[in-house]
Chain A
Amino acid sequence: MAIAVRNLTKYYGQEKAIDDISFDVKTGEILGFLGPNGAGKTTTMKIITCYMPPSSGTVDVEGYDIFDHALDVRRKIGYLPELNPLYLDMNVIEYLDYSARLHGMKNAGIKGRMREMIDACGLSEVRHKDIGELSKGYRQRVGLAQAMIHDPDVLILDEPTSGLDPNQIVEIRNLIKKLGRAKTVILSTHILSEVQATCDRVIIINDGKIVADGTPEQLKQDFRGTETISVELKTKSANVMTEVFPKLKDLSQVESVEYRGQEGDAHRFTVHTAKGSDPREQLFRQAVSEGWVLLEMSRKSTSLEEVFHKLTTADPAKP
């Protein structure tokens, strides 16, 4: 187990920011930390990186406890804080060198590793520029480069793509995937497609509590109840409501059916499926045996957006 989070609770004054959070991250896993504003993602990450102590509970990183072996924990971790703070008056090389040294790297190793990171992160053109002169996308690359300069086993990235334009987002995501290979990664985000694109596993956190934990596929599976199929078919039957409607409704994998109207002799239905099933085959066979002509049959699968929306609005969010 690369990271074991145990019963973390954190109060800011009277306010409980996270509430008894526990989870494990396996070595090599890319974990997406998903949740609305103020859910407690950053707080959890700050605790894992030993920036601040939890009110109770503890974390184990690569076998080191955050209280007893903080320096060892920090050695194992590469961290990109929220908003990617940087020294704007240093140039890229100076800054990476500084980061490497503070991670205890010695002269011999620094040069080669710096070249590697500059290449990997596409920074060679700007390496002599002051960070303050760089665009947001380049700054983000510098943030990633500093987090990985010492080749850490664990990467903690707090909203690594926030504030970037869509092209940059794709670039940074690919970079994370490339560099995060063989590393254990926790990244937080508000963007659901990001989780689907990058993560092996998702933890959804709301109001300081974990509300879902699984692979993106599993989560979609678990919340499939709402899945719908829209069907359009042609039939010679005079009375659709008595001759077609019940035959759709009685299929074993169908939960309920709505009739949505008619256009010429084409009729449209919305079919709600029974939880976790896909009745398209049954629908097709039924149509064939009844002599209906199927014009359209398309499944609208639950998106992670919907899962997220469900989970994080069920209990009233904080103001």
Chain B
Amino acid sequence: MTTPAIKFDLKATLKNFSNVGTIFRKELRSYFNSPVAYVVIIVFLGFIEWFYASDMFKVNLATMRDMFTLVPWIFVFVVPAITMRLIAEERKAGTIELLTTRPLNDAEIVLGKFLAAWALICISLLPTLVHYITIAFLGDIDHGPVIGGYLGLMLMAGVFVAVGLFASSLTENQIVAMIIGLVLMFALMILDKILIYVPEFMNTIVEFIGVDFHFSNIARGVIDSRDIIYFASILGFMLYLSTLSLGRRKW
């Protein structure tokens, strides 16, 4: 069954970014108009500060590696809570009917919403830069892994947000969307850690699909095209699926 306007028209989308911009601004504003944005920022800060306060000077001077191991796990729990509402809420409230009868492509809707949630995560990472600056002042720091670490976190956040957005497009129940998102993100995180339970010949594949494997590569400060391709393709694929799922309108 073809829906009148679900044609995935990437060219038109890129040519006219103003629709994406409009949706992006609206979504970001609604995060900041509600407690969501502030709760997310506080959760990030809280975890990271608590972690630093207890560990930094005792264990691991002049490196941020531990923070880069911690943050992806915070993502797993925080990102689904951010993304769950993106499409599910519109389905539930019926506003999806307004949104999808405006003259814009489904891809523009998906992209605008994706960018808003992604931006929120990136914003909530900003305060952690304080530690970077502090450590850089206090001692010698190897800048490569830090820059790689932040780049990796942003890419990972992008993938997670895309996964969460897809989960949100599947249902009108936000809690269900959150659980689906959480399960998928958790799976992506542990894939490279359960290789021993996977048949030998599938090891490389499973490892390649796992997000943490690529993140660790980048966070070491090594930027390999294979890792970049991984992030880009998972992200693109998830956004594509979200677009299709948004276009499925039997209701």
Name A residues whose Cβ lies closer than 8 Å to a Cβ of B.
12, 46, 49-53, 66-67, 70-75, 77, 79, 81, 83, 85-90, 94, 98-99, 101-104, 146
B134 within 8 A of A: no
Chain B residue at smallest Cβ distance from A130: B33
In the bound assembly, the distance between CA atoms of A75 and B22 in angstroms comes to 17
The 3 closest A-B pairs by CB, nearest first: A85-B94, A70-B5, A70-B4
Q: Which residues of the partner chain A approach B4 to less than 8 Å between Cβ atoms? A: 50, 53, 66-67, 70, 73
Q: Are B103 and A103 in contact (CB under 8 A)?
A: yes
User: Can you list 24 A-B pairs, Cβ within 8 angstroms, ordered by A?
Assistant: A12-B250, A51-B100, A52-B249, A53-B1, A53-B2, A66-B4, A70-B5, A71-B104, A72-B103, A73-B4, A79-B97, A85-B93, A85-B95, A86-B93, A87-B95, A89-B30, A89-B33, A89-B34, A90-B26, A90-B33, A101-B18, A102-B19, A103-B102, A104-B18
Q: Is the CB of A83 within 8 A of B5?
A: no
Within 8 A of A (CB), among B212-251: 249-250
B101 touches A74 (CB 8 A): yes
Which residues of B pack against A, CB within 8 Å?
A: 1-5, 18-19, 22-23, 26, 29-30, 33-34, 93-95, 97-105, 249-250
How far, in angstroms, from A204 to B27 measured CA to CA in the complex? 41
* CB within 8 Å for A77 and B101 given contacts A98-B22, A102-B22: yes
CA distance A12 to B250 in the complex (A): 7
In the complex, the answer to whether A79 meets B101 with C-beta atoms within 8 Å is yes
Asked if B1 and A81 make an inter-chain contact with CB atoms under 8 angstroms apart, the answer reads no
Cβ A53 vs Cβ B3 within 8 A: yes
Q: Across the interface, do A52 and B22 meet the contact criterion of CB distance under 8 Å?
A: no
Contacts of A88 in B (CB 8 A): 93
Residues of A within 8 A of B26 (CB): 90, 98
User: A53-B4, A90-B30, A101-B22 are contacts. A74–B103 as well, Cβ < 8 Å?
Assistant: yes
> In the docked arrangement, what's the CA distance between A104 and B95, Å?
18
Shortest CB distance A103–B (Å): 6
The residue on B at minimum CB distance from A46 is B97
Q: What chain B residues lie within 8 Å of A49 (beta carbons)?
A: 101
| Chain A residues with CB under 8 A of B249 | 51-52
User: Which B residues touch A77, using CB under 8 A?
Assistant: 101
Question: From residue B166, how far is it (CB to closest CB) to chain A in Å?
Answer: 21
With a cutoff of 8 Å between Cβ atoms, the chain A residues found around residue B22 in the complex are 98, 101-102
Flag if A51 contacts B18 (CB, 8 Å): no
Which residues in A have their C-beta under 8 angstroms from that of B2? Answer: 53, 67
Q: Which residues of A contact B98 (CB under 8 A)?
A: 79, 81, 85, 99, 146
User: In the complex the two chains form, what is the Cα distance from A71 to B100 in whole Å?
Assistant: 10
Known: A74-B102, A101-B19. 12 other contacts (CB 8 A): A50-B5, A51-B97, A52-B3, A53-B3, A70-B5, A85-B97, A86-B93, A87-B95, A89-B33, A90-B26, A101-B22, A104-B103
> Which B-chain residue is minimally distant from A104 (CB atoms)?
B103
- What is the chain B residue whose CB lies nearest that of A158? B97
Distance of A126 from chain B, by nearest CB (Å): 17
Partner of B101, one of A50, A53, A94: A50
Known: A70-B4, A101-B18. A86 touches B102 (CB 8 A): no
A86 to B129, CA, bound (A): 39
Question: In the complex where A70-B5, A102-B19, A104-B103 touch, is A83 in contact with B94 (Cβ < 8 A)?
Answer: yes
Interface centre among A52, A53, A72, A94 (most CB of B within 10 A): A52
- Min CB–CB distance A125 → chain B (angstroms): 21
